[in-house]
Chain A
Amino acid sequence: MPTIAVDAMGGDHAPDAVVQGVAQISLATDIECLLVGDERRIQSVLEGVSYNPEHIAILPCTDAIGMAEDPREAVKRRDTSLVVGVRAVAEGRAEAFVSAGNTGACVLACAKHFRLLRGIRRAALASVYPRQREHRGQDALALLLDVGATVRCEAEELVHFALMGGAYARRISKVASPAVGLLNMGSEEMKGGEVLVEAHRRLRQLPVVNFVGNIEGNDLVRGRADVIVCEGLLGNVALKLIEGISEVLYDLTNAAAARRVAWRLGLHLLAGGIERLRVLTDYTQYGGSPILGFEQLFIKCHGRSSARAIGNAVKVAAKAVRDHVPREIADALAAAR
């Protein structure tokens, strides 16, 4: 069973939610978790919940990076749970790292301590999100990358993202030949400027990528592509837009229910459908997003992650280790050369 290091101090609800998530995983699976952080606080949470100590070790450290800290300055501190954990993975004491902490610091810590796969120039933060299925058997989740690790990209980097995303979807979502799309402002291949046109040309020529062409914003939530590639700035805006719309829909629903009895009655009739939508858009069940491109694995969870979300992220990390995701990416790169 793989050993997964977990940042006990990262996230809005750390260490409680993180430790509780690991405790749940220790009872349900054989995954060994290495909790990194303030040992006293971790132990105090652990003793108040059910857990299996046989699957939990603690790597103590004294410092933690706040969610609002400047990432560049924060990763210089060597005894933070994030840096200690990432170094533990880099040294081979664990096989993957899970954190709900400061996203910028997570990406920088990886860049500082992990080794990029041969041929990869920039890492990508990928995010899984729910989308409409176009055909039976299609995965309910799509992968969008990059969502913030590399703000501006060259065409070659977008090609690498396509190869990395494809490899991840093949291993984790078990999609044999994932459809890869390039996020753009139009479906025509000449749209989007020099970088996107060049990326489109290169991707079309790659036999190892099932490239389906340009994808527009409205296609993001449809099932046209399993992997959508874009630069970090655009990906981050798109992802936050999807999350924002989902939240506004719930707020509107709640407001409507409070306003009129007839509307409340109508919503009551729709309760089953609304609940299905809630389950579909509930980020806690997707278990975090991978930072791809390194020899080591890093799963970044939502800052607001609950115990359940952390537990699912640990499971995803273990799956990525077992399924040799970095090797799959390296093989895809080699085949594309």
Chain B
Amino acid sequence: MKLGRARPGATPPAPLLCRWDLDKTYLRSEFDSLRSLLRTAFERAEDKVEVPGVAELIRALKATAERQGRKALVYFVSASPPQIGAAIRKKLALDGVPYDGIVFKDQLAYLKRGKLRNLREHVGFKLAELLRGRLAAPPGATELLFGDDWELDSLIYSLYADLVAGRLPPARLAPILRRIRVDPRLEGDILTLAGRAAGGERVARIFINLERRSPPATFRLFGPRVVPTFNYFQTAAVLGADGYLGAEEVARVGRVLLEGAGYTARRLENSLGDLVRRGVVTPVAADALGAPLRAAGVLPAADGTGARWRRVLGALRRLGRSGWGRRAGAAAGEAPALDYDAILDRGRRSA
């Protein structure tokens, strides 16, 4: 159980690189109809709405990293066109979000070339940009990736993580890219960049914001590195359990949801219970987080005997001993090789 404590005398931890998708991950963008798409495109910064807790989470990640004596970099990689860049930058400034760069997809260039299909194909674009970003990042930086369940973020991020880890040689990557129908012009770039970026296990976690409320089981094929979360309190709790945030920062994210998004302490407690049941956070880590969060008023105060929470954790410990929920705490080093053929087969079936 780490909870963001710096170990005195230890070598400084590797820099932290946090990369975020924008729409549906940071912003509550509406793409359900052409009208909402146009509205989003022309929306002023003041009218854009962020997903509750996300801005506080980014600030908290930076603050904790600084406290731990570690450099933290925040980048956004978005498939939105650069024309909306000014509004996005203003929105991030309004939210007080510290960031180090944003990359947009030049949709106009595809339009000019008549490549209409590429307007909607983001895998190649994002993969290439992630790899370029990796090459520009401080060597050895640990990465946290944040996406959502609207497009293929879990696939893109997993491919990227395996490429950087050197687990996906060009001979295996090329047929996958062709199956996804990545722009052939990008395929060569990706293969070259992947060869240069491969340098070891770097991606610690991939967080998927379940904006569409996709069933968590959908992501099982991606292994324990991919963590689907229903709100940013859950994301913060996992990061707290992994040592990227302290309990105080997790509480701050929770408080934003309580004060500004209509959440109750009970809803946050249920969110934490869900993480434990899914095996994302161990009962021990949840217990360690529980006390300070209760003290901060983010979780309901324990009743006289603390019976409810103890009963839940007791049952979960029993389940843990029986081998269920082994995903908890599994990090990058334990990431298994993914079966991308199975992932793409399933994607085709559910399409």
Q: How far is the CA of A48 from the CA of B350 in the complex (A)?
A: 14
Query: Is B277 located at the chain interface by the 8 A CB criterion?
Result: yes
Query: Is A40 located at the chain interface by the 8 A CB criterion?
Result: yes
Query: Is A59 located at the chain interface by the 8 A CB criterion?
Result: yes
Centre residue among A47, A49, A51, A52 by max chain B CB count within 10 A: A47
- Residues in B with CB closer than 8 Å to A39 are 277, 315-316, 319
Q: How far is the CA of A54 from the CA of B308 in the complex (A)?
A: 16
Of B230, B234, B266, B277, which contacts A58 at CB under 8 A?
A: B277
**Would A93 and B213 be within 8 Å (CB), given that A39-B316, A54-B263 are in contact?**
no
B96: shortest Cβ distance to chain A, in Å? 26
B306: shortest Cβ distance to chain A, in Å? 13
**Would A32 and B266 be within 8 Å (CB), given that A43-B277, A52-B230, A60-B315 are in contact?**
yes
Query: Is A50 located at the chain interface by the 8 A CB criterion?
Result: yes
**Would A52 and B278 be within 8 Å (CB), given that A57-B273, A60-B312 are in contact?**
no
B278 with A40: CB separation less than 8 A: no
Q: How far is the CA of A213 from the CA of B319 in the complex (A)?
A: 58
Which chain B residues numbered 283 to 326 have a C-beta less than 8 Å away from chain A?
308, 311-312, 315-316, 319, 324
Q: Which A residues fall within an 8 A CB radius of B?
A: 27, 32, 39-40, 43, 47-60, 93
- Residues in B with CB closer than 8 Å to A59 are 311
Q: Which B residues fall within an 8 A CB radius of A?
A: 212-217, 230-231, 234, 263, 266-271, 273-274, 277-278, 308, 311-312, 315-316, 319, 324
A32 with B270: CB separation less than 8 A: yes
- Residues in B with CB closer than 8 Å to A32 are 266-267, 270
B270 with A55: CB separation less than 8 A: yes
Can you add 15 more A-B contacts, CB < 8 Å, to A40-B319, A52-B230, A55-B270? A32-B267, A39-B315, A40-B324, A43-B278, A50-B212, A51-B213, A52-B213, A53-B234, A54-B263, A54-B267, A55-B267, A56-B270, A56-B274, A58-B312, A59-B311
- Residues in A with CB closer than 8 Å to B316 are 39
Of A40, A50, A53, which contacts B270 at CB under 8 A?
A: A53
- Residues in B with CB closer than 8 Å to A58 are 273, 277, 312
B341: shortest Cβ distance to chain A, in Å? 22
A53 with B274: CB separation less than 8 A: yes
B240: shortest Cβ distance to chain A, in Å? 17
Of A47, A55, A60, A93, which contacts B215 at CB under 8 A?
A: A47
B269: shortest Cβ distance to chain A, in Å? 8
B213 with A27: CB separation less than 8 A: yes
A137: shortest Cβ distance to chain B, in Å? 36
**Would A49 and B215 be within 8 Å (CB), given that A32-B270, A93-B308 are in contact?**
yes
B289: shortest Cβ distance to chain A, in Å? 16
A-B contact pairs, 30 of them (CB 8 A): A27-B213, A32-B266, A32-B267, A32-B270, A39-B277, A39-B315, A39-B319, A40-B324, A43-B277, A43-B278, A47-B216, A48-B217, A50-B215, A53-B234, A53-B270, A53-B271, A53-B273, A53-B274, A54-B230, A54-B268, A54-B270, A55-B270, A56-B270, A57-B269, A57-B270, A57-B273, A58-B273, A58-B277, A58-B312, A60-B311
Which single residue of chain B is at the shortest CB-CB distance from A61?
B315
- Residues in A with CB closer than 8 Å to B212 are 50
- Residues in A with CB closer than 8 Å to B231 are 54
Q: How far is the CA of A50 from the CA of B324 in the complex (A)?
A: 21
- Residues in A with CB closer than 8 Å to B278 are 43, 47
Q: How far is the CA of A3 from the CA of B172 in the complex (A)?
A: 51
B210: shortest Cβ distance to chain A, in Å? 9
- Residues in A with CB closer than 8 Å to B230 are 52-54
Q: How far is the CA of A49 from the CA of B266 in the complex (A)?
A: 22
A48 with B263: CB separation less than 8 A: no
Which single residue of chain A is at the shortest CB-CB distance from B316?
A39
Q: Which 3 A-B pairs have the closest CB atoms?
A: A53-B274, A60-B315, A54-B267
- Residues in A with CB closer than 8 Å to B268 are 54
B339: shortest Cβ distance to chain A, in Å? 19
Q: How far is the CA of A52 from the CA of B268 in the complex (A)?
A: 12
B51: shortest Cβ distance to chain A, in Å? 14
- Residues in A with CB closer than 8 Å to B315 are 39, 60
Centre residue among A52, A54, A60 by max chain B CB count within 10 A: A54
- Residues in B with CB closer than 8 Å to A51 are 213, 215
Q: How far is the CA of A50 from the CA of B273 in the complex (A)?
A: 17
Q: How far is the CA of A106 from the CA of B182 in the complex (A)?
A: 58
Q: How far is the CA of A52 from the CA of B277 in the complex (A)?
A: 14
- Residues in B with CB closer than 8 Å to A47 are 215-217, 278
